[in-house]
Amino acid sequence: MNPRPSVQGSSTIDRKEPLKRPDRGGVVVVRRVNLFVNHFRVNFNPDTVIRHYDVEIKGDNPTKKISRFELAMVRDKVFTDNPQEFPFAMTAYDGQKNIFRAAELPTGSFNAEFPGTEELRGRSYTFTMKQLNALKLRDLKEYMTGSTSLNPRDVLQGMDVVIKEHPSKCMISVGKSFFHS
């Protein structure tokens, strides 16, 4: 029968300790490192309010699902037919149900008519828009400075759509990435 080695009898030579850092664990010298990975700096005015609108587009045939291409086509038609009421500038559309804009837009139902051609029959759509929320960028500023712990998800969603609006028009989108044509 082998006797078990005793803990008390072990020498200090067998004990392993981590190496000591020359700066006592990083408290002597504090070094700031700027790291940018797949991000860019965004400056914004915290007093700005972005209005969030819900968009519903219905076609002639309510059973047929409307493609994203058709949704964008209808939105573009409504905006180009009424440029005074619906200016394209500073308007961001996520391609489905959300429009974000710093200035107010009219709400209600609008018709978009597409005349028939030799290849396609005429189509008409109803474009309904209502304001959901007024997103205050002050909430994002407070969250970033640590004044509040509430995550302003709606503001972040709006900022995401606004930032992606221009690249989605002039670049090729694959997944969540944009590429030059």
Q: Are 83 and 175 spatial neighbours (Cβ–Cβ below 8 Å)?
A: no
Residue 10 banded pLDDT, cuts 50, 70, 90: low
Which residue in 154, 141, 180 sits closest to 98, CA to CA?
154
pLDDT at 54: 95
Model confidence over 90-149: pLDDT tens digits? 889 988 899 999 889 999 999 989 888 887 788 899 999 999 999 999 998 998 888 888
pLDDT digits 0-9 by tens, 37-57:
666 777 889 999 999 999 999
* pLDDT-based confidence at residue 32 (cuts at 50, 70, 90): confident
Percent of the chain whose predicted confidence (pLDDT) is above 70 = 85
33 or 60: which leads in pLDDT: 60
More confident residue, 38 or 34: 34
56: β partners: 128
| pLDDT band at residue 30 under the 50/70/90 scheme | low
Range 20-25 average pLDDT: 69
